[in-house]
Structure 1
Amino acid sequence: MKPFRIRLTLILMVMVGVSMIGAGFTMAHLFKDSHVAALEENMSREINLLAGTFKFQDMNAPDAVAYYTEQAEHVAALIGSRVTFITKEGKVIGDSEKNPLEMDNHSNREEELLAAKDGIGRAIRHSETMDRKMLYVAGAVASGHGFDGYIRLSMPLDAVSEVLNRAWMIMAGGLVLLFVAATFVSYRVALGMTSPLEQITRVARRITDQDYDARVPMNRKDEVGQLAAAINAMADSLQNQLKTIRDNEGLLQSVLDNMTGGILMINAEDEIALLNRAAEKMLDVNSTEITGLSYRELKRHYELTRLIEEGISRKETVHEERSIYNPGERIVRLDGVPMQQDESYRGMLFLLQEVTEIRRLEKMRSEFVANVSHELKTPVAAVKGFAETLLGGGVTDEKTARSFLQIIYDENERLNRLIGDILELSKIESKRVALECSPVHLIEFFDSMLETISKVAEKKNISLSATVPAELFIEGDEDKLRQIFLNLLSNAINYTHEGGSVKVTAHNRLKPDGSESVVFTVSDTGMGIPRKDLPRIFERFYRVDKARSRSSGGTGLGLSIVKHLVELHRGSISVESDLGIGSSFILELPLLQEEEES
């Protein structure tokens, strides 16, 4: 016998043996299931018979447990099953094997739950009382004689196991005989089989169906083995190429998903072929819903859609900016290029970049330059005008001359303050200012602060006061805190009428996240701030009362510096004001400053 035939015969014999063993297991399983099902059915009938013939008594009677226990033992002796009487609440009031008073509540047992739902419940599990695997069947019973609960029958599955063992013995003998016969048949069948070629054919078909994990499990040296090796080598090559393609696709998809700019690809049929996450967020669409549809489905962004349509119709590069609303106005720069392959048009590729913040910063820079130029020009022009007057000899009166010189001096001081504030604001905004934090005793801090500005307040007969807990400390940069409150208190005094009052309060606050902060309020009884001006009060060079600001020497940068210094302390500032009544600036600063990560 040739080696190939021997191998094939052995394979067939093993296959027949495995099939027979599998069939045996299947038959045994079916036999066991059918036998258990028959037992369950029989026990269900017994429960129904008991429900119809049993003499029930009131479950709440004093001797109910004794009565039902006695009856359970009597019925168990007749039917050969363990009998249990259970109330609807799961309390055992009678059992043929154990004292009911020592048994747990059965309300959560599987068979009771099923019986409550379907009338009859079945379960198989290990019994702690009997120390063996049991079959339980419970039936819901409601009697007019005071019983409302379940009758449960149970019996061990040992009998089923014994019958199954006998069946296994019979099947084992049959398997031996069948295996001998299969040996002869397998040899005869192997003569005409061409399983190796069929196996190679099957693998080739699986590879054709893109199952590149398929291989021919063959290690032969003949022509069939060489063919199998060639099939396997081809599958290896295809699998490696597919892996490379998938890796590149994954890399490309990762790049698209993590790009900050939006990518929108329109194919030659004017359909949306690709949309990355950034474009989805920017246009407020879902790629899975819109891919394959016409780009005109983006009609809610009318100006953008028109620009895309213009680029597609001309098949030329596009570089434009448009405003979209999602939900507020956003400025988007659209750069589009036509896609060409082998001189054939494949569609348009668009890059969408949001430039709202860039344009806002450009506008702010432009406004800042204009404001600075204007603010610098005013004192310079005043100095020049009065100096020219003095130099021209037009002023002979010494008193008038001194007045002009005082104006020149004041404008120079104002110019110095303006330049100083601009430099300070520039340092803060460029993050070049580092906090030098230390504990600050607030009561001493405000006493020193009020003493510093008391002279100015006395000139206008304005009362100054501070209400600060004596034990309150805060961690912060004392110089920066002094700059914050000096600006706020100076503004409060400047905009408060004679005889008014300015006060500072501070108290500790526990935040919902468990951290602590200190809330400061600087309030005055001044003229107040119009409601329309409140949102812009912290902008650079923004003045509510421009004439009064100029006369008081204000630069228009004080509150902007305050806001930046508060944020540098990781705090917040807000303002409340009523015209003619006064204003209150509310600051909230953390009690402790977190260390910055290096």
Structure 2
Amino acid sequence: MIWRSVVGKLWITILLLVSVVLTLLTILLTQFFETFYDEQAEDQLTKMADRLVLIMENDENKEEAIRITSEMAEAYSMSIMIIDEDQESFMSKNSYDDAPYIPVSVFNENDRLSTVTEDGKKIYLNGDFPVLNNNDESLQRMIIYGEPYDTGDTKGGVYVYQSIENVEKTTNHTKYLIFLAAGIAIILTTIFAFFLSTRITAPLRRMREAATSVAKGEFDMKVPILTHDEIGELGMTFNRMGRQLKNNITALNQEKEQLTSVLSSMADGVITFDRKMNILVTNPPADRFLQAFYYESGMNTEVNGNVPEAVKQLFQQVVSLESEQMTEIDMQGRSWVVVMTPLYDQSVIRGAVAVLRDMTEERRMDKLREDFVANVSHELKTPIAMLQGYSEAIVDDIAESEEEKKELAGIILDESKRMGRLVNELLDLARLEAGHMKLHYSSLSIVPFAERIVRKFQGPAKDREIQLTLSINGELDREHDEMEVDPDRIEQVLTNLIDNAIRHTSQGGAVNLSVDSNKNNVTFYVKDNGSGIKEEDLPFVFERFYKGDKARTRGKSGGTGLGLAIARNIVEAHSGQINVHSKNNEGTTFSFVIPRTMK
């Protein structure tokens, strides 16, 4: 598209300007030369007629003078006619053979031409007259000038005439030369304009290409400086702009990468809003918060700009009050604290930034701390009360006989042991959770170890009339299959699980310990057909002091509520995993997997 190109626009502008100037100049010159030749012809005819009149009136040798004058007229392509008052001509022929000849009768019979001889008036005519040319008569356009003469003896008129074709030939030739010169000028102007516009716009085209490259992100593109004029200065300015732009983009990218790294590494979620509450920036924790909200509200899990209603209300408060605001949101079982601060563009609020902190673990730890204090207080309250009560009974001599005193002392001893176990288990659990308990690894033969554990509990099982059995995977070698563990700690886990199974299995029930293994791991299963665990209690059985049966009270042989929590920490310290499966009133199965070798 030529009008969309600077070269085309400049080229056409120069061409149109020169064309208009040349057109006007051609028109003016044509009109000038047309008028000039007409006036020149009239002037020549007048001068020639004046000369003939002067000759006719003053020269004695008229014939010689007329001959000379005729030769002059021939040189100017003119014809002469001299007619006296009797309407007879002195020159019966034209001045030269090829010149047009107007008959004498035309001069005598024409009303206006005859006024020269009859009235003695000068006349100048331009029109069509009958002309004899090579004995052929035709109408031709002629210009005729007539002037009277008076010799004293005779009067008459002198007529000098010329065909307009001669004047038109000269005029047309001049026009041809003018048009030829104008055409050549336009062609040369076209070439010159195209060359000039191309030369001028070449640096501009290079700058356009460089600008296009810069727009695509190629900031190393430079414009070659070929001249030192304004275009050259523009090119140098463009190159400086490109370098500065590259530096600014690099700095912005570094800032963006730094900000992205900071946001990505933050544990807290960050969401930035604009004035219309459109989400601008988020980090991974904030994305998880939004995805939880979308899942809860049944929307698409992709970020689509929607936020919880509490966040919207908080945003409105921040914008209206222009101060930091805070709220807490519970969603999908997690607790989030949202702190929102306004963002300013000078003095105008342009948005807000929200910091979201997942307080679920803190809330859980607070609850566990409260529960721990409550459970420890509860567990210690009963034995302390019993110790205090029976001790007062002994001091106050309420127990009179030695047997009663021994009985009370025995109770005090049992409660003291129970408190000792509670304190020891609390210390063990604290050390395990803090990672301060050191495990003493050694090679343990799997089958003999399982047999010893079952023999250990045969007595309590018979007392409750419970069948305790052992199942060994047939591929296990009694003497060569070993595992690298802390034997005392693994025995503590199995002791706790089997003891719980026996205590929660009714009389006549069954408890089974089975051992399975593969190349890498050893799995222990403790299964009973006792009362089982309610489904809602299963996720919490490994918590400290958690009691599935809230109404159950512990007897003197009861546990402390820490056994399963200790068992889980021991298994996890061995890089293993413990699980439980149970149905209420159908039985429970505890299983844990231990790697064969220490990692």
Tell me what 2:245 maps to: 238
CA spacing shift, 1:388–1:506, aligned 2, 3 Å = same
Matched, 1:310 2:310: no
Taking the TM superposition and a 5 Å limit, the aligned residue runs for 1:549-560 are 549-560=554-565
CA spacing shift, 1:200–1:429, aligned 2, 3 Å = same
Tell me what 1:49 maps to: none
Deviation at 1:485, TM superposition (A): 0.8
Tell me what 2:592 maps to: 587
* Post-superposition CA distance 1:133-172 (Å, at most 9, x none): xxxxxxxxxxxxxxxxxxxxxxxxxxxxxxxxxxxxxxxx
Distance 2:303 2:526 in 1: 54
Distance 2:552 2:336 in 1: 40
Q: Which of 196, 201, 209 matches 1:198?
A: 201
Deviation at 1:561, TM superposition (A): 1.2
Tell me what 1:563 maps to: 568
Q: Which of 471, 485, 490 matches 1:476?
A: 485
Distance 1:273 1:532 in 2: 42
Matched, 1:504 2:513: yes
Distance 1:199 1:365 in 2: 80
TM-score by length of structure 1 reads 0.58
Tell me what 1:494 maps to: 503
Matched, 1:443 2:447: yes
Deviation at 1:290, TM superposition (A): 3.6
Code of the aligned partner of 1:491: N
* Post-superposition CA distance 1:101-124 (Å, at most 9, x none): xxxxxxxxxxxxxxxxxxxxxxxx
CA contact (8 A) 1:339 1:349 kept: yes
Q: Secondary structure of the equivalent of 1:256?
A: helix
CA contact (8 A) 2:272 2:354 kept: yes
- The number of residue pairs the alignment matches comes to 393
Deviation at 1:351, TM superposition (A): 1.2
CA contact (8 A) 1:570 1:590 kept: yes
Q: Percent identity?
A: 30
Tell me what 1:349 maps to: 353
Bigger Rg, which one: 2
Distance 2:268 2:197 in 1: 60
Code of the aligned partner of 2:421: R
Tell me what 2:4 maps to: none
* Post-superposition CA distance 1:68-119 (Å, at most 9, x none): xxxxxxxxxxxxxxxxxxxxxxxxxxxxxxxxxxxxxxxxxxxxxxxxxxxx
Deviation at 1:368, TM superposition (A): 1.4
* Post-superposition CA distance 1:11-30 (Å, at most 9, x none): xxxxxxxxxxxxxxxxxxxx
CA contact (8 A) 1:577 1:583 kept: yes
Matched, 1:263 2:270: yes
Deviation at 1:240, TM superposition (A): 2.0
Distance 1:354 1:445 in 2: 45
Gaps of 5+ in 1: 1-184, 292-296, 510-514
Q: Secondary structure of the equivalent of 2:428?
A: helix
Deviation at 1:488, TM superposition (A): 1.5
Code of the aligned partner of 2:357: Q
Q: Secondary structure of the equivalent of 1:378?
A: helix
Code of the aligned partner of 2:252: I
Matched, 1:380 2:384: yes
Matched, 1:364 2:368: yes
Taking the TM superposition and a 5 Å limit, the aligned residue runs for 1:26-45 are none
Q: Secondary structure of the equivalent of 1:549?
A: coil
CA contact (8 A) 2:270 2:354 kept: yes
CA spacing shift, 1:460–1:257, aligned 2, 3 Å = closer
CA spacing shift, 1:373–1:213, aligned 2, 3 Å = same
Deviation at 1:410, TM superposition (A): 0.6
* Post-superposition CA distance 1:505-526 (Å, at most 9, x none): 11225xxxxx643332223354
Q: Secondary structure of the equivalent of 2:327?
A: strand
CA spacing shift, 1:259–1:287, aligned 2, 3 Å = farther
Deviation at 1:283, TM superposition (A): 1.0
Tell me what 2:525 maps to: 521
Q: Secondary structure of the equivalent of 1:550?
A: coil
Distance 2:567 2:534 in 1: 20
Deviation at 1:239, TM superposition (A): 2.5
Q: Secondary structure of the equivalent of 2:222?
A: coil
